[in-house]
Amino acid sequence: MFRLTRSLILVAALALGACSRQSVVTYYDRNHDGVVDFELHDDPGYAHARWGLIDTHFDGRYDVLRVFAPGGKRFPVEVPVPRNGIQISKELPKDITID
């Protein structure tokens, strides 16, 4: 329960911090099955403001929230992946490693 609460606080802090600028969300399908399994949030103008939701099991549910910054942290989450009305990008950014 503490991990979930900590994860939700982190997501809320990131979302509130990005309110003053336009956040960019990009969706990726790493295993090419037509279902999103990685969602990257980037807030231009902020240092180390990239974070992502990852479906490590390819089962239609994000299970990891990862902060892409020096000493980046991983938090367990349980969130369904979006399925309708999104555009999936073809290639992952070169500077992002998901492992």
Rounded Cα gap, residues 7 and 71, in angstroms: 16
Domain range annotation of the chain: 2-89
Please give the model's pTM, rounded to 2 decimal places.
Answer: 0.74
Give residue for tokens 């974070």.
51
Q: Convert the pLDDT of each residue in 37-88 to its tens digit.
A: 999 998 877 766 789 999 999 999 999 999 988 888 999 999 999 988 899 9
